[in-house]
Every structure is written in C-alpha cells, then in structure tokens.
Amino acid sequence: MSAIFDKRANAHKHTVVQGDTLTALAAHYRTQGADYATDLSAEQIAVFNWLSNDAREIKRALFEQLGSATLAALGDGSAFADLVLDPAFGPAGTKEVLIPKLWKPASLAVGQTHTVKLKKRKAAVALGIVSLDKWFIPDLETCDLKYRTEGNASEADQVEFEVHASNYCSMAAWNEGLPTFTALADVPVFKSPLAGGLSAPRAEHTLGTWRGLTNCTQGILAPGPDGAPRHLNAALSPYTAALRYRKAAGGDATDKAARIDLAPFWLEFDAGTNLATADSSKVRWTVKGTGRLTQGLLVIVDKDNTAVFAKGLEAALLAQDTAQEFAWNAQHADGTAASAAVRPTACESRATRASTSTKAWRWPPCIPR
C-alpha cells in the first residue's frame, strides 16, 4: 500500500543547499524517524511538490524555483532525481522543498464510517521554445520554430504565436517628405493561434510555415492602399517572437494580452580585455498585460542555441508594467567567461503562474536579413 501523506501545511520545509538532489533528500529523510516514509522516493517528493513525475516538467520547476548549474539537463529528457541543485542560480530568497510527512489520523473508532476530505491540486502548465531561426529572408524563407508544451490540457489548451517589431509605429503625417510617426508599442505585427494539433499538451511541436507575412491592421506594416499584405523588413528589426499558452475559453481575461517585452540582447566585448562590457551584459524586460505571474526562468544561449546560463526569477521581477533588469556577470554557469567566439545570441525569458490558467513564454529575437 502506498503511503498517505499529510497536508502540505504540515510538511517539513527543507532549505536547499548546493549539491542537493531529490535522490539524496529522499535517502536522508527515510532515516529521520516515524514522521517520514521508510520508502520515501525522489518521485514522491516531486509529485508532492509539483504534481508531476514528467522529467521535463520537474526539471523546469527545479530550475525555476530552486536553481541548478547543470544546464545540459535543461529541456532534455534525462532523469530529474539526480539533478544537482544550486540555489545561487535560483530566485531570490530561501529556496525550499517540501518533504512530505506521513498522515497520522487521530484514533478512529471501529465499526463507524469516517469521511476524509481531499483538496484537489492542479499542476502548472508551461511552454518553452526549443529553437528559433535567428535569421531568415521574409517571403523567400520560413522562420522555423520548435517549442514544447508541458502540463495538462485541462489547464491550458491554446498556443498563440505573436511577433513584435522594434520601435513599431504608424505614420502620423507625410509633411512633404519629412514624416512624423506615432508609436505603437503594444501592437503585434503578426498574431495567430496555432491549431491542427500544434497546441497539444506534453509534446514538442514544429511551426515551419510562416514566411514573415504580417497580419496587423495598424502601423507601417499593415496593408497599404492597394490592400496587399506586407512582410517584415530590416528597418524594424530586431523582432521578438512570443508564445503564449492559455485556456482558449474561460480563464482570466488578462491571459489574452499577457506578454514579456524583452529588450534586444547582444554582448559587446572590450577590445583590450576581450571581456563583455557590463552594460551590454544587462538583460532588460517588462511584463505587459498581466499581474498574475509568480515565477519564471531567464535563459541565455550561445550561437549554437546551447544554454550557457539560467536564473530563476521571483515574483517581484515579474510585476506588471515595471521595467526590470538583471545584471549578468557574463559568465557561463560553469564559471567560464563569455567570449566572442561563442557570443550569446539570444536571451530567453519564461514566466508562469502556478495554478489554473498558468501561462508561460520564452523569447529569442527573430531578425530578418
């Protein structure tokens, strides 16, 4: 018979230290007395904390909430139980794992029916970009996008793809060749729900049909007087690709417009020291359209789309309409300095709300050439 655990409020809060793994925690607490199951496993700890035993989902939660420098495990299908944790790469504050204690009901009279009430909890859903073309020729080439959904369809069932231009605007007046413009900061130049199975849960998806054609109705990339649609151009680059995962019907109304406005990220290197400059190493973003985000993950990848740094984000860094900044020290998670040879070319940001209608995003820049 499987162990029955007490409610989360009565669980032991283990403060994570560098080197912890779920396997090691399970082995330790199996020997800590009658409060704990003698066969406590890493999987039981994972399900108790995150309501999943899917390796990718658990590792995403570990990176977001606790921190780890083992970036090779980020996004792959390797086991979660032995992922080495490091709170230096987690969000601010104390990082804790709940260790379940055995349920010990008060003495129950025999020969009677006793009712036990259970509270149903729901696992968080999430979405992450696996790969995204850094360069493509609009109209002639497709912008290939791969992404992965996590969680159950009962909590999110619609992926939406948006593209935002830099300094997007509409022309206010021609002025005989000296035009003036009006900013349209929150208007996507392309937006589309992804149908035909592209929103299925717990799966990796590929979108390889978009050729940079816009479908906006406002701004300088909207159709002209002839009604012909327009493609992305270099003048408004870099472009930001955004994915949103939400309930198509129901859920919070802000889900439909929620996004992260991530500033362009490109390292500059000092000619003398060959080290990245401090200002170019800063990651800047603003959450738009929602105040419901509670946790997130910032990932920096190199030119080969290999993650070199990941940092958990706390709720304070996801406050709505608040400019945020993370001063990266331009060092990979393994301690090596960033170099021009493998210059990081993308910064990805993901944010979630760990309950019903959870949303998640990751953004590398998408720049047409």
User: pLDDT digit string (tens) for 254-312?
Assistant: 778 888 888 888 889 998 888 999 999 999 999 998 888 889 999 998 888 889 999 99
Q: Which residue has the higher pLDDT, 349 or 105?
A: 105
Supply 41's token pair.
Answer: 């496993």
The helix/strand/coil state of 257 is coil
Mean pLDDT of 72-86: 91
Supply 329's token pair.
Answer: 């020290």
Q: Is the pLDDT of residue 8 over 80?
A: yes
272 vs 264: CA distance, rounded Å: 25
| Edge-to-edge strand list for the sheet holding 324-327 | 259-262, 282-288, 324-327
Supply 163's token pair.
Answer: 């593209």
Mean pLDDT of 90-97: 95
- Quote the radius of gyration of the chain (alpha carbons, Å): 23
Bridge partners, 368 (sequence order): 136
Q: Which of 38-47, 128-137, 358-367 has the lowest mean pLDDT?
A: 358-367
**Helices (DSSP H) in 30-81: which residue ranges?**
42-50, 55-65
In the prediction, which pLDDT does 1 show? 54
- 8 Å CB contact between 45 and 100: yes
Tell me how crowded residue 196 is: count the other CB atoms within 10 A of its CB: 7
**Helices (DSSP H) in 6-134: which residue ranges?**
22-29, 42-50, 55-65
231 vs 222: CA distance, rounded Å: 9
Mean pLDDT of 49-71: 95
Mean pLDDT of the chain: 89
φ, ψ dihedrals at 301, nearest 5°: -120, 155
- 8 Å CB contact between 299 and 309: yes
User: How distant is the alpha carbon of residue 313 from its chain centre?
Assistant: 10
Distances (CA, A) of 123 to 28, 74, 75: 26, 19, 18
Q: Where are the beta strands (DSSP E) in 140-211?
A: 145-150, 158-164, 169-173, 180-183, 190-194, 203-207
The closest of 341, 319, 276, 334 to 88, measured between CA atoms, is: 334
DSSP letter assigned to residue 13: E
Residue appearing with tokens 């990932």:
299
User: How distant is the alpha carbon of residue 186 from its chain centre?
Assistant: 20
Mean pLDDT of 166-189: 92
In the prediction, which pLDDT does 345 show? 59
φ, ψ dihedrals at 337, nearest 5°: -80, 145
Query: Could you tell me the end-to-end alpha-carbon distance of the chain, in angstroms, rounded to an integer?
Result: 61
184 vs 253: CA distance, rounded Å: 22
In the prediction, which pLDDT does 81 show? 97
